Structure 1
Amino acid sequence: MEFTKLEEIELPAAFDAHVHLRDGPMSQLVTPTIRNGGVNQVYVMPNLVPPITTVQQCIEYRDRLKAIEPNVDYLMSLYLHESITPEVIREAKKAGITGVKSYPAGVTTNSSSGVIDYKTFYPVFAEMEAQSMILNLHGEVPSTPSHAPSSATKDSAAITILNAEPAFLPTFITLHKAFPNLRIILEHCSTAAALAAVQSCGPTVAATITAHHLSLIIDDWAGDPFCFCKPVAKTPEDRDALLRAVVAGNGRFFLGTDSAPHDSRKKRGEDKIAAGVFTQPYAVGYVLDALVKGIERGVVKEEEVTTEVLEGFLGGWGRRFYGAEDKREERIVVKKWRQNVSDVLRKDGLEVEVVPFRRAEKTWQVTWK
């Protein structure tokens, strides 16, 4: 297969292992776009306001999503919080909840209730290990406050959004060593260092890579709020390492878009820019575009982008790690550069609107067989 010469390709429907579908009007706007992106199965993040910390909340949230778009399978997660106990983990397992998402306190959108000390959750992790539930890690540490005294960074480097991910990796490795049979996913890797850390771990560890991190570097988001996310995109070398991981990661890395919708006013009309890139309606197309660019730059070889790689990264490897069978067994046809990315996503009767990644550009068009 000469990937760059293809005009269309048929693939199994994708599995997106990391999505933000929000709630209320925003959820009504974005949830119907999942299938537009070639995806029929998603792993849903729990950082609502308030966060999803009980089994009942989680099941009710899943029911709301199903009511909006019934033709998608929703894998659900709890938010790691002081109220999560081993007993809650056992209850969650019985209810069919897949995993628990950990956010360091204050590091990203709706993470104010996040983790300060991971050791306090060791009994929870031990029960998750016993129940074969997945721990999803947002792999960053909070930035050093700008008003912190100089003594605060005397013995260690100050933390910024540029080194927040590398600074978290020792914690990640420590957790894996403490619980070697706990299934852990390091979410939305943005650096070559994170990829290497995952590769250094045993087979119970994997990682997600977003569509936008396969394309962006720091210069792209520095002047464009719609490319700003956390973790932020890093250097060209980091971006290219992510592309290499797609084709040469031996199934350890798979798609988790981290598609994160924010009302357009929160991206450019308030004092602070909301962190999140919205990619849901064009998920598969964005990945294919990034691979084309990677081949053109010589980062990825033409012969490395095989049907096996595409099927694996876009769904197969993630489903295997999650133990998530695609009961629908649907297939998509993706046609090269036939789709115009909309300027804005809106719907009559809803006050929110969202600007997609790479607005007004062309990408691959998804049709369902």
Structure 2
Amino acid sequence: GRVTDELIVRSEGSRPGSDLVWRGVGLIVVVGIARGLSVVVRRYFAAMLEARMQVTLREQVTDRYLDVPLSYHLRMPAGELLAHADADVSGTTMLIKPLPFTIGLVALVVFSIASLLGIDWTFMLIALALFPTLTLINRAYTKRVEVPSAEVQRKIGVVSSVAHESFDGALVVKTLGLEGYESARFAAAANALRQERLSVGRLRASFEPLLDALPNLGIVALLLVGSARLNAGALTTGDIVAGASLFGILAFPMRVFGFFLEELPRAVVSIERVDAVLAEPVDPAIALHDTTQLPSGPLSVAVDDLCFSYLDAPVLKRLSFTVAPGERVALVGATGSGKSTVAAMLLRLIEPD
């Protein structure tokens, strides 16, 4: 504003001195360089913090995978476990990058509103009207996008599970000639994920233009009000330029803040999914860290009233037997009678009912 009044407006009546011109140019260049450097520093440290948080969360999730009972791994598809450690962690930390801009926006808003009040009280009222409007838009967006965002994260796990099952059982699929069936199953899961992401994308497409338009609408309102105040003699041309510049400074942080609000529903869903993994109870045998020394030589095995069911289908009912040290015992039975299940239970790969 001062550069406008001292150089541009004054030049209409008399030519300003070269020293004044260079001081004005130098001031604008210095301010521009300072703003550019601050953006680079914020982006660098925000990216570094995001990467470190991803490492920490992935280590915590992986450690919990190692500590939970094996029944948890039997219950959860492998693709779902991968989705928790990858997509959910990435979604959780996505808010780190715009966070410095969002925090800086608070100080910038206070400074800008105080500066606008110093220029003209009507400019301050225009600025204050933008933020409640932004809050209302975000509230409506959050209500509509929260459920689809949760579905996207869930279907990412479904796609990962189908892909992992196909890779893991590739030999079985080829032996039974089920390539077409597996391809159709993966295509159905991928199409469901694509449709859900398209629905979220349509919601974002309706939200982002409103967000981008808010600062521009504020500048238009400022120019209209400022022109009337200029004709009334209450303002100068430099005051209007200064007010418009302040709105321009607010425009980019407001867009970043809008991106922060836009990604918030997805981050909340991702955090809930990661927290669900971290809240899984630890295997008691691992939690105790028992270091009891076992006696040397062969050991006996005793099973008493062992029961187990796959969902609602009972496989083992009150099975009891004892194997003496050094004794060799063969488990004999028809397919599906529970031989492999008993062996897995003896190794604690499966927990009994």
TM-score w.r.t. structure 2 length? Answer: 0.19
Name the larger-Rg structure: 2
More strand by share: 1
More helix by share: 2
TM-score w.r.t. structure 1 length? Answer: 0.18
- Greater relative contact order, per chain length (Cα 8 Å cut-off, separation 6+): 2
